[in-house]
Amino acid sequence: MSTALDTALRAALAEAERALASGDVPVGAVVLDPGGAVVGRGRNEREAAGDPTAHAEVLALRDAARRRGEWRLSGCTLAVTLEPCVMCAGATVLSRVDRLVYGARDPKAGAAGSMWDLVRDPRLNHRPEVIPPDLVDADVAAACSGLLTRFFGRRRG
């Protein structure tokens, strides 16, 4: 994986860690513009905002669209610590990002290859390139999954 995508996933991981303060599931996301600059940030805020749609990816895509002044995020990359759910995968497709990179698989609700593969469905008019955890830096992927494992371990224990 390129250094820019490693850096993006680390930035998403920092956002995920910020979600812990509000009791939200620690998922973070950033959007990179075509030049590699971060133009959108988000972290899960469902608990903090009382909003079922306040997922990290949706908030990062909204932030990027606001900053760029348009909803089409062509040429952009969405980097997220956890594989997007169906809602977030749909938002990824509809925003027209060129690339999705994620650090941990979600076998229960992932919609980028684990449970479903919405982002690469050939019936859709846009399909971003997908870079799953096995194609990212192993240390970054382990940090993404480890943060979630620790969070849920504390909630259960």
Binding-site annotation, residues for Zn(2+): 55, 85, 88
List residues forming the annotated binding site.
55, 85, 88
- CB atoms near residue 52 (< 10 Å): 8
Cβ(91)–Cβ(57) below 8 Å: yes
Nearest to 37, CA basis, from 70, 1, 79, 72: 79
Is 57 assigned a catalytic role?
Answer: yes
What strands, in cross-sheet order, belong to the sheet with 77-80?
38-43, 28-32, 77-80, 99-102, 129-131
Chain-centroid distance, C-alpha 30? 7
Cβ(14)–Cβ(41) below 8 Å: no
Catalytic residue among 15, 17, 47, 57: 57
Residues with active-site annotation: 57
